[in-house]
A and B are shown apart, each in its own frame.
Chain A
Amino acid sequence: MTKPFMFEKPLGMRDTLPLLYETKQVIRNKMSEEIKQWGYQFIETPALEFYETIGETSAILDAQLFKLLDQQGHTLVLRPEMTTPIARVAASKLLKQQIPTRLAYSENVYRAQQIEGGKPVEFEQIGIECIGNGSISADAEIISLLVSVLKEAGLDGFKISIGHVGFLQELFTGILGNEERAAVLRKFLYEKNYVGYREHIKFLPLSSIDKQRLIQFISLQGGEETIENAMQLLENGRGKETLYELKELYMQLKEFGVEPYISFDLTLVSHMSYYTGTLFEVYAGQVGSLIGNGGRYDSLFQKFDWDTPATGFAIRMDRLTEALGELNAREPIECVLFSQEHRQEALAYARKRRTEGRRVAIQDINAVQNVDAFTATFSDVQFFIGKGGASRDE
C-alpha cells in the first residue's frame, strides 16, 4: 500500500483551520446579511458542470479550467466562476417567473494552472447578479451595494475603479478604422504592457494627432475629471454616449453617498468580449491583487437563448480576509471533564451552559492522557470527578 501524502496537497489547495474558519464565517455572515437586505436571494449551484455549458461560455481562460469526464464520457468542469452557472439557472427557470431577478451566491470556485504557491486554486467568492435590468440605476445599485458589503465586512480604505468597454472600443475603432487593429491594441492593455502599446503606436500609419490621442488614452484614470479628459480625446462624437453613461452613473453614485470610494479608469479591459459596458475592479492597499470585480455582461444570456442585460460583482473571500488582516479572537470554549460516576451531573451542567449560549465540550477524563495539556486550550474547565459528591474545580 502506498503511504498517504499527509503533508502534501495538490498545488494551490488550502486547508481552513478553526481560527480562520470562524473569522471567515463572521465576515461572510455580515456580508450576506447586507446582500439579503438589498433584496437579493441566495442560491447554490453544483460544483461540476458540463464543459459545453459553463466552460466555453465562461470568461475564464480554457487553460485555467479543471476538466474531467463523467461515466458517459461527457467533459465536465469544476466551475471557474459563478456568473455563468447562475445565468444558466436563471435562463432555464427563474427568468420565466420574474424580471428583473436579483440573485446572490457564496461558493467555492476553481481555477487551475498555477505555476507556484501563494495563490489558491480553490477559493470562495461572494457575489450578486442583477439580471434583466439594463438601466444605469442597476449599475449604480450594485456598485453601492458592493461598497456597503465591503464596509459591513469591516474593510476600509478600498477603492473601486470604473471603466467602460464601449468607450475604449469606440475610441480605438474610431482612430484605427477596424476591429482587428483595435484588438491588437486592446491586447497590449490587457497584458498591462504600456511599453509595447506605445511602441506599437509609433509604427502605425496614423497622423501624429491620432497617435497622441492614443498615447493620452492610457493616462485616463483618476477622479471625476477623467470623464471630461476623455471627452477631449473624442472626435466627431463617437463614444460620447458611453461617457454620458458614466457621468449619469457617477451622479447616481453620489446620491447613494458612495463617491469617496469611486475613481475612474477608462483603460480597464477584460479579456475576450465578456463585459459589454461598465466594468469595475476593487483594490485595497493591503493586498497585491484585486479584492473583487464586476460589470455589465449583456451578451452572456444570448448563449442561453435569452436576450437580457445583466450586471453583477464577485468578491474574493480569501483576499478580503487577507486585507482585513487580523483573525477574530477565538470564541471561548469551555470544557467539562467527568468521571463515569458523575456523568449525569456533568451532562446536566453542560446542557445548562449551552442553553446560556456557551460552547461546551464534554470529555470523559479516563480517555485523556495528559489533562494539563488537554485543558490548556479551553477558556474554562469544570471537573465532575472523584468519589462521593461532585467536586468542581477551575
Chain B
Amino acid sequence: MNSFLTIAMPKGRIFEEAVELLRKANFQLPPEFDDSRKLILEVEEENLRFILAKPMDVVTYVEHGVADIGIAGKDVMLEEERDVYELLDLKISACYLAVAGLPDTTLSDVAPRVASKYPNVASGYFREQGEQVEIIKLNGSIELAPLIGLAELIVDIVSTGQTLKENGLVEYARIADVTSRLVANPVSYRIKEQRITEIVERLTPVIESLKR
C-alpha cells in the first residue's frame, strides 16, 4: 500500500536546500522543480505531490491536514505553536533568533518597543526576562525599525550577521537556534504512518552524512 502523500515545501531561502536534501535521499523530483512557477507539482513515480507555500504558512497547511508533511523552519514553529509532529531536524538553513539594536541601546522607561516578524517569540522572550515591552509586528526589513526610531530593539533571524553589521546594529541576545524541520499532521502520521516513516528513514542517513 503506497498511499498518496502531499508535502508542503517552503518557497524562498529554504527551498533550494530542501530540494537538494530530497534529491540526495534519492527522491525523483522533476527537473522543472527549481524554476517552476507552479504552486502544485506532482511526482507520479513517487506518489508524491508537492505544494509550494510561504515558509510562514507551511505549518498551517500541515496542521489543517491539506498537506500530510512539510518542511518548516523552527522559527515558524516557535512563533505559530501549531499542532503538528516535529519528526526530524533536517539541519539545513541554520540560523538563529536574536535580539538586536543600535549599539548602547537602553530600553526606554516609558514604553519600550520591540519590532519583530515573530511577535509571540518576542513577547515570550521579554516576559521571561522580566521586561515589559510593547511588540510591534513587521513583515520584513525589521532592521529598519531601530534605525528610524520605530522601536529600540528588534527580534529577528540572523544567519551570517551581515545585514545587522551593514546597518550598524549589534546583537544583544541569542534566543533560539533555528534549522528546518520535517513536520507531520497528527492524523496523517497515524493513517499514513508507513509512508511517513519511510521518508524519515530515507532522510536520516543523508542528514547524518551532511553533518560531517
Contacts and interface: CB of A to CB of B under 8 A. Distances in A.
Contacts of A161: 190
Contacts of A159: 190-191
A195 B86 contact: yes
Given A192-B84, A195-B89, A195-B181, A288 B188 contact: yes
B187 to A, nearest CB: 5
Contact of B65 (A193, A219, A222, A288): A288
A291 to B, nearest CB: 9
B66 interface: yes
Given A192-B86, A195-B89, A222 B185 contact: no
Contacts, number: 55
B187 A192 contact: no
B140 to A, nearest CB: 21
**Residue of A118, A195, A289 with most partner-chain B CB within 10 A:** A195
Interface in B86-127: 86-89
A285 B88 CA distance: 22
A289 B191 CA distance: 11
B88 A192 contact: no
B204 to A, nearest CB: 11
A265 B190 contact: yes
A118 B64 contact: yes
Interface string B57-89: 000000111100000000000000001111111
Contacts of B87: 194-195
Contacts of B83: 192, 289
A289 B187 CA distance: 6
B193 interface: yes
Interface in A190-242: 191-196, 199, 219, 221-222
User: Secondary structure at chain B's binding surface: helix, strand, loop or mixed?
Assistant: mixed
A361 interface: no
Contacts of B66: 288
A193 B184 CA distance: 11
Contacts of A26: none
A40 interface: no
B53 to A, nearest CB: 15
Interface in A266-306: 281, 283-285, 287-290
**Residue of B88, B192, B193 with most partner-chain A CB within 10 A:** B193
A195 B87 CA distance: 6
Interface string B181-212: 10001111011110001000000000000000
Given A118-B64, A288-B65, A289-B65, A283 B86 contact: no
Given A192-B86, A195-B86, A283 B190 contact: yes
Contacts of B197: 219
A244 B30 CA distance: 49
**Residue of B84, B187, B191, B197 with most partner-chain A CB within 10 A:** B187
A290 B85 CA distance: 14
B193 to A, nearest CB: 7
Interface of A: 118, 159, 161, 191-196, 199, 219, 221-222, 263, 265, 281, 283-285, 287-290
Given A192-B84, A287-B65, A290-B187, 20 more contacts: A159-B190, A159-B191, A161-B190, A191-B86, A192-B86, A194-B85, A195-B86, A221-B190, A222-B193, A263-B190, A283-B187, A283-B191, A285-B187, A285-B192, A288-B66, A288-B185, A288-B186, A289-B65, A289-B186, A289-B187
Interface of B: 63-66, 83-89, 181, 185-188, 190-193, 197
